[in-house]
Structure formats: structure tokens, C-alpha cells
Amino acid sequence: MWPLARLAKVHGTQLAGADFFCEAFTEFPKTEIKRLLICGAADTGLLATLCGCLTDRLSEVRIILADRCQTVIDQNRRLAERLNLSAEFLVSEFSELQIAPVDVIVSHSLLPFFTFEQRVSLLELWRQLLNPGGRVLFSNSVFTSAPSVDRVSRFQFDRSGILSVAKQLQFSAEQLTQLQQSLDVMMEKSSTTLVRPVEEELIAQINQAGFEIKSWNRIASGIAERGPYSSSDSTERIRVEACLATKS
């Protein structure tokens, strides 16, 4: 679903933040990323992007991918097998994640899945899991100020865009029916809601959790850059690409 949703956007968007992740890795000496945690994956887009960034050292990095969704894990496992990666896959709620410390934690468009209070626990988990000298890298859209309307929005895919891409890709009638049914399940029965963070609040939470902000790139959120889901809120939002380290 996610790749189709990305194709449904103008010119077919790539995963936002790819350049940022690649650049951030160049700041690590080659030997310093031994263990990398991908915290929430969705489709294989994030894993594929990170592999592209790490080509010079991929054989030395152990990738740990955690997500609560079995389908997501299965999809990513297939990609990892195809690429012969050193990787492990965990179907787990992050609150129950138990792994040895890592050198880098990557997350992408994950924070809206967490309420303000849940973000405190997520940041605490990241701090506990990070080796000294390690970094958290995330790319996420945020509100620039508290929205006037309800901050919670239902998770929405661009249904007609996805179906039109599927037709262009010459999906058979049977495949189109299956796709429509999947969209129905995801859009009508899913209870997933988004709580996009407010920038200032997020910065305060990050500081309180014991992180130092090494970099905080603010990027205007253009239509092509926006994620594969649509949203009805009109409060200004930007994408933030952040690099965090634990305070010494």
C-alpha cells in the first residue's frame, strides 16, 4: 500500500529525508555503526533508503528492525534476505522492546503515532538504547504552532490516487478489487489516529528526556514532499530532520 500511495503523489514522491540520513551517516567513522535500530518501518522504503546510504559499510552493520506489524516485518525480511543483509526483525510494541544497545536509531514519520505522554516513554526508550556517542536520527512532520482544531486526525490514504496508480500499472480486475477491499479495511475500520507533534513542545520533550539536539533542519512541507496520506488540518506544518545525542 505504501509504495502505491507514494506513487499516487505528484511525480511519485520518494521517502522524505533520504538525503538527511545519508549525510548524517557520513559523520560517523566507518567502524562506528555496528548496530542500527530502525524504529517503525512501514513498507521497505526506509530500509532500502538506509541501505543506499550505507553501501560503503553495509556488511559491517547489524540492522535491527522493530515494528508492531507482522506484515511490515515480513516485507522487510524479504528485502533483507534478497540483499543478504545482517539483520534481525522484531514484531514488538516499542514499549516492550528489549534489545542490546545500538549506535544509531532511525525513525521516520513515527512520532504522530504517539500521544504527548507516549512520546515521553519513546524518548526514554531511545535514551536507554543508545550507546555512548550514538545518535538518534528522525524525519518527521510537525506543527509549527498549536493547531486551532483538534490535533487528532484519522489516518487517511489518498484512495482515488492509489486506485488510479494501480490502473496505470495495469492491475487486473481481481487485483483492483483486492486493493479496494484493503483500502476499505484500512480507511473505514482502522482506528489509527495521528497526533502530529507541535515543534516547540517536541523540542522541550527532547531536552527533558536527556538529549542534546545536534541538528534540527526545518523544511517547508510542499505537496510533493507530504507523506502518502492526506490530512484535513490546515495549520502550518513543516518537516523536521533531527539528529540527537544523549547529554554527557
Residue pointed to by grid coordinates 510494541? 93
- Figure out which of the listed residues 33, 42, 102, 244 binds ligand SAM, where binding follows CB under 6 A: 42
- Figure out which of the listed residues 9, 35, 108, 239 binds ligand SAM, where binding follows CB under 6 A: 108
Task: Examine residue 94 and tell whether it contacts ligand SAM (CB under 6 A).
Answer: yes
Q: Say if strands 211-220 and 237-246 run parallel, antiparallel, or are unpaired.
A: antiparallel
- Cα separation, 13 vs 142, whole angstroms: 19
- Figure out which of the listed residues 31, 82, 93, 232 binds ligand SAM, where binding follows CB under 6 A: 93
- Cα separation, 130 vs 106, whole angstroms: 11
- Comparing CA positions, the residue from 45, 43, 5 lying closest to residue 162 is 5
- Figure out which of the listed residues 28, 113, 171, 216 binds ligand SAM, where binding follows CB under 6 A: 113
Q: In which region does residue 154 sit, left (phi positive, over 0), alpha (psi from -120 to 50) or beta (all else)?
A: beta
- Figure out which of the listed residues 109, 140, 141, 246 binds ligand SAM, where binding follows CB under 6 A: 109
Per rule CB under 6 A, count of chain residues that contact ligand SAM:
19
Q: Are 148 and 233 in contact (CB under 8 A)?
A: no
Q: Say if strands 152-154 and 62-67 run parallel, antiparallel, or are unpaired.
A: unpaired
List all residues 6 or more positions away from 197 whose beta carbon is below 8 Å from its beta carbon: 111, 112, 116, 119, 140, 142, 143
Task: Examine residue 110 and tell whether it contacts ligand SAM (CB under 6 A).
Answer: yes
Of 139-178, binders to ligand SAM (CB under 6 A) are: none
- Figure out which of the listed residues 51, 65, 72, 102 binds ligand SAM, where binding follows CB under 6 A: 72
Question: Considering beta carbons, is residue 15 or 142 the nearer one to ligand SAM?
Answer: 15
Q: Is 154 exposed, middle or buried (0-12, 13-18, 19+ CB in 10 A)?
A: middle
Task: Output Rg (C-alpha) for the chain, integer angstroms.
Answer: 18
Task: Examine residue 67 and tell whether it contacts ligand SAM (CB under 6 A).
Answer: yes
Task: Examine residue 46 and tell whether it contacts ligand SAM (CB under 6 A).
Answer: yes
Task: Examine residue 41 and tell whether it contacts ligand SAM (CB under 6 A).
Answer: yes
Report, in Å, the least distance between residue 121 CB and ligand SAM: 9
Question: Considering beta carbons, is residue 32 or 125 the nearer one to ligand SAM?
Answer: 125
Report, in Å, the least distance between residue 186 CB and ligand SAM: 12
Query: Footprint of ligand SAM on this chain (CB under 6 A)?
Result: 2, 15, 40-43, 45-46, 67-69, 72, 93-94, 108-110, 113, 227
